[in-house]
Amino acid sequence: MSISFKAEKKLTGLLDPRREFAFTQIESEIRYDPLTQETARICHFSGIVPQPEDLTEILESTRQHCPFCLPQVTKITPKFPPAFLQNFRAEGSVVSDGRLVRGEACLFPNLFPYDEISAIAAISHQHAFDAAAMPVRAIADAILLARDFFRHARQAASQPGDTYGLLTWNYLPASGGSQLHPHMQVALTRHPGNRLARELTAETAYLKANGRTYAGDLVDAERGGSRWLMEDAAASWITPFAPTGVLGDVMAVFHHRSAVEELSDDDIHLFAASLSKIVACFAHNGLNSFNLSFFPDAPVDKPDLISGRHRLTARLLPRFYLNNRLHVSDASYLQLLLQEAFCMRFPEDLAAQMCKEL
């Protein structure tokens, strides 16, 4: 086993006004990501209790003119050029007036694209979801639709070379989402993002050095431990040793899949059911908003190329305002400028709390 969980404990001495200026030592910790060795800080254990924002008024005021609600979604959202959707074939997903539809999910071009092939998947006809009871079928249909889109778009892409199918979901205002209506960003790109690029490079080096995949070793090292949440036939779920979010985050590691396009229908239905449970755990503790991102590799067709280095992961990061009244963001210079993860609770504590509810 080549996985190393490295941490450095720090002690700061000061005269504490909360204890009549008695000398006090306050602990913090720096953890190293087992793959990339990038650092994450665990500190500021201030006992923050997230307070869900009351969105009743804003939900009602935005519902009437929401571009992703019926009937607007079929009238004012963009359409794909007919040539792009030519020969689209996918069981359960269909072409409907220049868009793709599966169940209540509707996928269409992003009017403000992130790349050459960039789309939006409106997840449901509902203008908002209860985070404590996410609709499993609707989420599964949206992911299935994105998977079918990736499979088709990869064939239609004009750019040669490796392409990555990026699927993300920003839910509610604290996540940075521009619309309240549940929707996912769907993009096929040659530029997977700096973090994913670093991880893929590190995974290639790990495979070369150890003859095994990093993800496989990680799951084996974490199974049944203090950061282990659960496992099903699709994926293993853990709280990462070096967390990303201020109040922690959760990662799913898929079994023997490297990209969204490779997921089976059963994989996606199982993932959606587990995701709903995880989101509910956060929601029960006042965290209704989140970012969800899939971290894929570029599918490899040629067996002589380096393959098997990566397993598809999905990461759920709860988002919140440090102060609801002032709308103080949970992201600061540490994350945005120094690109240093900052967390206020230990992943082991988060896992213990979640395991009581799962």
Helix (H) or strand (E) holding 155: helix 136-156
Measured CA to CA, the distance from residue 210 to residue 221 in angstroms comes to 15
Q: Are residues 33 and 85 in the same domain?
A: no
Q: Are residues 108 and 27 in the same domain?
A: no
Q: Are residues 135 and 271 in the same domain?
A: yes
Measured CA to CA, the distance from residue 282 to residue 292 in angstroms comes to 13
CATH of the domain at 318: 3.30.428.10
Q: Are residues 33 and 180 in the same domain?
A: no
Helix (H) or strand (E) holding 96: strand 94-96
Buried b (16+ CB within 10 A) or exposed e, 120-139: bbbbbeebbbebeebbbebb
Counted domains in the chain: 2
Q: Are residues 110 and 239 in the same domain?
A: yes
The pLDDT mean for the chain works out to 93
Work out the pLDDT band at 303, boundaries 50, 70, 90.
very low
Measured CA to CA, the distance from residue 155 to residue 179 in angstroms comes to 30
Residue 285 in domain: yes
DSSP letters, 24-76, are EEEEEEEEE-TTT--EEEE-------------HHHHHHHHTT-TTSTTGGGTT
Q: Are residues 122 and 214 in the same domain?
A: yes
Work out the pLDDT band at 301, boundaries 50, 70, 90.
low
Pairing of strands 313-319, 341-343: unpaired
Other Cβ atoms within 10 Å of 32 Cβ, number: 17
- Which pLDDT tens digit goes with each residue over 249-278? 999 999 989 999 999 999 999 999 999 999
The closest alpha carbon to 196, from 104, 284, 295, belongs to 295
Domain that holds residue 317: 63-355
Q: Are residues 110 and 22 in the same domain?
A: no
Q: Are residues 122 and 197 in the same domain?
A: yes
Residue 54 in domain: no
Residue 240 in domain: yes
What is the pTM assigned to this prediction? 0.94
- Ranking 43-47, 69-73, 92-96 by mean pLDDT, the lowest is 43-47
With a CB cutoff of 8 Å and minimum separation 6, the contacts of 266 are: 233, 234
Q: Is the pLDDT of residue 47 over 80?
A: no
